[in-house]
């Protein structure tokens, strides 16, 4: 599989799409799909129109990225906006794409777009893998709907992000762009697609049972204690100082995790909003009577986590391209050391083309764990040569 990555920071959205397309298709003769990630400052539809003016038949899918993207050329960001795209080409690759706003039932929407994506690929059977991009809210239900149609096959991707967690994100696919919905790309190929999904955190001995949950993502009690007070007890923080989005920032190096049923994957749960009743909201679904673990890391650990995940991805695998979904919250905590993060990723990637998108939710699997939604995580995917 052959890939090329290109980007733009031109102020005009259409012009940025044109430049991104031209830069990402140098040497590409028969492009199959473009994985596109942009700033919220652009008009997404105009970016795609610009891309289509260069390559009308290219299938385009992606979402907005928080603050920046990374490519082999560097950290791509600008006050006016940014766009970057990875274009894949292979004679043995067929891609089908589809997208939809949320509708009344996200699971039904997942089923709908799965059928439409198969039709777009001209196939009546499941692909070897699929990419999913969704708004941050009900990713598990979109996934269930897609799996209703395709079965439990490998998947990867991430949730759309903005620059300040205020809901300005967008998901896009072909001529559609929306803030609340889901898009998928199905990959039919004889080449291997390998995903490594991890939080790359260290587990502590602080473990409790989730004894009360409301609305899937609000943890009310841990061990029958108000959840935020239990979290503060574990971390040494003051629960009254973790109200609102103060929790989101403070919890990045001290996240929570739940193990998948076989124990091979600890899916990270990001405590995001502290509530006056000392409950708190997390970025992915949690079930009552589940053990939840306090996790720990620091900036060095976040940077090294990206390196070790790329190394794991490349182990016994020759990647022709790498699509690296990197949580925007991790980037936030890395802060002014983000240049180190880029250098570490670039050195680990070597000569392999790559693109990094900064998301507000990550999707993948580990050692047959089944497709999983998490936060503060890395979902690194390689497409074999």
pLDDT at 169: 98
Cα separation, 354 vs 337, whole angstroms: 20
For the chain, list residues with pLDDT below 70: none
How far is 257 from 201, CA to CA, in rounded Å?
Answer: 9
* Whole-prediction pTM: 0.97
Mode of pairing for the β-strands spanning 266-269 and 202-214: unpaired
Looking at the chain, list the stretches that DSSP marks H as alpha helix, in order from N- to C-terminal side: 13-24, 44-54, 106-121, 139-150, 227-235, 246-250, 299-314, 328-334, 338-349
For residues 247 and 329, the answer to whether their CB atoms sit within 8 Å is no
What pLDDT is stored for residue 217 in this prediction?
97
The reported pLDDT for the residue numbered 209 is 98
pLDDT 10s digits, 215-224: 999 999 999 9
Q: What is the mean pLDDT of the chain?
A: 97
Distances (CA, A) of 16 to 19, 23, 57, 73, 246: 5, 10, 18, 16, 35
- Where do the structural domains in the chain lie, given as residue ranges? 2-198+302-384, 202-296
pLDDT at position 279 is: 98
CA distance 84 to 357: 9
């Amino acid at each position: 599989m052959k890939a090329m990555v290109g980007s733009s920071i031109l102020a005009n959205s259409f012009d940025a799409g044109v430049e991104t397309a031209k830069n990402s298709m140098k040497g590409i003769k028969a492009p199959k799909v473009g994985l596109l990630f942009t700033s919220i400052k652009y008009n997404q539809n105009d970016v795609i129109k610009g891309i289509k003016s260069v390559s009308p038949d290219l299938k385009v899918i992606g979402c907005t990225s928080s603050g920046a993207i990374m490519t082999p050329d560097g950290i791509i960001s600008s006050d006016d906006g940014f766009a970057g795209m990875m274009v894949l080409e292979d004679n043995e690759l067929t891609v089908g794409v589809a997208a939809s706003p949320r509708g009344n039932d996200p699971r039904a929407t997942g089923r709908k777009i799965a059928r439409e994506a198969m039709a777009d690929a001209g196939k009546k059977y499941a692909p070897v893998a699929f990419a999913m991009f969704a708004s941050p809210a009900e990713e598990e239900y979109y996934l269930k709907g897609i799996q209703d149609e395709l079965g439990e096959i490998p998947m990867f991707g991430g949730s759309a992000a903005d620059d300040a967690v205020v809901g300005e994100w967008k998901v896009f696919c072909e001529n559609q762009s929306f803030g609340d919905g889901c898009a998928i790309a199905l990959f039919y190929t004889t080449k291997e697609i390998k995903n490594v999904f991890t939080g790359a955190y260290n587990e502590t001995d602080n473990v409790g049972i989730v004894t009360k949950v409301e609305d899937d993502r609000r943890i009310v009690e841990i061990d029958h204690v108000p959840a935020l007070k239990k979290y503060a007890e574990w971390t040494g923080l003051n629960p009254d100082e973790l109200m609102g989005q103060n929790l989101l920032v403070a919890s990045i190096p001290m996240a929570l995790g739940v193990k998948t049923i076989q124990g091979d994957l600890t899916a990270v749960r990001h405590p995001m909003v502290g509530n006056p009743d000392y409950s708190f909201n997390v970025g992915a679904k949690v079930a009552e009577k589940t053990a939840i673990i306090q996790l720990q890391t620091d900036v060095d650990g976040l940077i090294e986590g990206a390196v070790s995940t790329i190394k794991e991805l490349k182990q016994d695998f020759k990647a022709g391209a790498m699509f690296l979904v990197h949580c925007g919250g991790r980037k936030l905590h890395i802060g002014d050391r983000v240049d180190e993060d880029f250098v570490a990723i670039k050195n680990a990637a070597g000569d392999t083309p790559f693109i990094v998108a900064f998301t507000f939710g990550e999707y993948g699997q580990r050692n047959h764990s089944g497709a999983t939604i998490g936060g503060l995580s890395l979902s690194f995917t390689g497409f074999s040569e």
